[in-house]
Amino acid sequence: MPTMSTMMAWAPFLCSSMTRVCIIINVVVWLERRLFGYIVSEVGSFAIYSALLFVGIACVRTALGSLTQAGPTPDMEVHSEVGKLREDSVPWAACGMRGWRPAMEDAHIVEMLDASVFPDVALCGVLDGHGGYQVSALASKVLAQQVIASARAQPRDSSKPDWKPSLAEALENSLPNLDAQMRSGPFGYERLLPLMMHPFFHEGSTACIAAVDFARQEIVTANIGDSRGILIRNGKAIALSEDHKPEDARERRRIENAGGRVIKVGPCWRVDGNLNLSRALGDFHLKDHPTLPPEKQKVSAFPDVTRTPYLEWPQELLVMGCDGLFERKENQDIADIVWPRFQKGMPLEQIGQELLHLCCAKSCRGQPMEMGTDNETAVIVKLPSRKAAPSEANGKCFLVGENVTVHGLSAEAAQDLNGQSVMIEGACKEDGRYDVRFNDGTVKSIKVANLQRPVQEPVKVSQDASKAD
């Protein structure tokens, strides 16, 4: 049974749905009374008043939304939210700006996940709505619950007494599960209505979500659409996600196999000449092929997932941004704006504000002169850092929790360990060895000379394209 907080999150959706239901009931009652006349007048009156009530509520909500967001463009006012995660040890700031758009349709997520399932994990992300704000707003309120539900639904491996749910799997499943829940509604009754009556028939949202596992010093990122996550390390931008655009070969194949077309409209390629991205929540008019599973529809909510270690030394920043930041800027451009300001000690909130202003198109006589006309939202998280430098041995040093690769073992019994990725379990010992944990859970002591850092790029652990092709 949905909780009160969940019901509050679903309230706008339920209001829109009930408006449509009441309209359908009124049409049915009107036809029945004209053809047969068995329905008593009280039933007809109840249907009319119910429809008027929900239509009135919808009108009030629309009017209030217009009053709070109406104004001249570009609207350069930045709305900020700041806080600290993990017992006030990890500061963050979320900044949003309407910019050149008539309404703000972005949303963001920053919260710790349920500690009983994931004891030391924070969920951070951005959602870029299109066609309205309701999908992004709803997802921002219920996605964390869906991640936990997806984790609890994983089959337990009874052969492993220390079994724990997979964070990557939970994140990967949460987005399509949420999309399915949006399609059916919180009580499932939306499945009974024609798809074209659905509140999210022409409304959707991207989602780029990062789960920061502080215990494993790892960032697990799930992405659908063209919002992005980047890790800034020593001023260098490391991509945590890849955009999903209709013109990409893998995306185009899925779209065309589902009966869609990829059409260029102006500077953008679009699905059926409409949507300029190929994966999203909502947009159910592009997920209506009757014989195809959800992952093979023209637009999919199945994410790509990457796993990226962070080192805790030197200091690193996590930046999640909607595509309004990337209309004019590349990932490294964002890092070049954020990193120098961070090094100077500028508060994260101020960094976010200046970042949004620099990404927004300049105006001339009330018109934009360049790219950068979308809503803009950024979440900046200062990842935890060590108070002292790591231990060193033979010119090499590794951090607890860092992922490294084994190499150069010559003993016949140990040669099969070469090339395997392991995690550093503790500081370097006096004999120049590290305890490392292998993927099967075993811990071995390896000489520092036989460990090396891999290239620090995201490791992709899932791809929707392989499912769709």
Asked whether the predicted pLDDT for residue 292 surpasses 70, the reply is yes
Determine the pLDDT at residue 168. Answer: 96
Asked whether the predicted pLDDT for residue 71 surpasses 70, the reply is no
Local confidence band at 387 (pLDDT 50, 70, 90 cut-offs): very low
Least confident of 161-165, 170-174, 242-246, 311-315: 311-315
In a domain, 176, yes or no: yes
In DSSP terms, 454 is beta-bridged to none
Q: Look at the block and give the residue holding tokens 């960032």.
A: 219
Q: Are residues 315 and 439 in the same domain?
A: no
Range of the domain at 450: 390-469
Domain boundary among 345, 361, 385: 385
Q: Are residues 359 and 312 in the same domain?
A: yes
Determine the pLDDT at residue 9. Answer: 76
**What's the CATH number where 400 sits?**
2.30.30.140
pTM beyond 0.95: the answer is no
Residues 144 and 109 sit within 8 Å (Cβ to Cβ): yes
Distance CA 144, CA 123 (A): 7
Local confidence band at 394 (pLDDT 50, 70, 90 cut-offs): very low
In a domain, 59, yes or no: yes
In a domain, 264, yes or no: no
Q: Look at the block and give the residue holding tokens 């990404």.
A: 359
Domain boundary among 35, 65, 95: 65
Q: Are residues 406 and 358 in the same domain?
A: no
Local confidence band at 390 (pLDDT 50, 70, 90 cut-offs): very low
Q: Does the N-terminal peptide bond of residue 314 adopt cis geometry, omega within 30 degrees of 0?
A: yes
- Residue 131 backbone dihedrals phi, psi, to 5 degrees: 80, 0
Determine the pLDDT at residue 284. Answer: 95
Q: Are residues 409 and 380 in the same domain?
A: no
Domain count, the chain: 3
In a domain, 155, yes or no: yes
Determine the pLDDT at residue 393. Answer: 42
Q: Are residues 178 and 57 in the same domain?
A: no
Q: Are residues 189 and 111 in the same domain?
A: yes
* Rounded average pLDDT over 85-101: 92
Say which residue, 188 or 182, is predicted with more confidence.
Answer: 182
Q: Are residues 177 and 306 in the same domain?
A: yes
Asked whether the predicted pLDDT for residue 155 surpasses 70, the reply is yes
> What are the pLDDT digits (tens) for 422-462?
888 776 776 778 888 888 878 888 988 889 887 555 656 65
* Rounded average pLDDT over 3-13: 70
Q: Are residues 44 and 79 in the same domain?
A: no
Q: Does the N-terminal peptide bond of residue 74 adopt cis geometry, omega within 30 degrees of 0?
A: yes
- Count of C-beta atoms within a 10 Å radius of residue 426: 14
In a domain, 260, yes or no: no
Least confident of 41-45, 137-141, 302-306, 313-317: 41-45
Asked whether the predicted pLDDT for residue 40 surpasses 70, the reply is no
Determine the pLDDT at residue 50. Answer: 67
Determine the pLDDT at residue 80. Answer: 96
Q: Are residues 90 and 152 in the same domain?
A: yes
Determine the pLDDT at residue 16. Answer: 76
In a domain, 210, yes or no: yes
Q: In what order do the strands lie in the sheet with 443-447?
A: 443-447, 433-437, 421-424, 403-406, 451-452
Q: Are residues 395 and 370 in the same domain?
A: no
Domain boundary among 41, 65, 89: 65
Residues 108 and 140 sit within 8 Å (Cβ to Cβ): yes
In a domain, 262, yes or no: no
Query: H-helix or E-strand containing 339?
Result: helix 331-343
Q: Are residues 164 and 293 in the same domain?
A: yes
Residues 57 and 313 sit within 8 Å (Cβ to Cβ): no
Query: H-helix or E-strand containing 152?
Result: helix 134-152
Q: Are residues 41 and 85 in the same domain?
A: no
In a domain, 446, yes or no: yes
**What's the CATH number where 330 sits?**
3.60.40.10
How far is CA 456 from its chain centroid?
22
Local confidence band at 264 (pLDDT 50, 70, 90 cut-offs): very high
How far is CA 10 from its chain centroid?
19
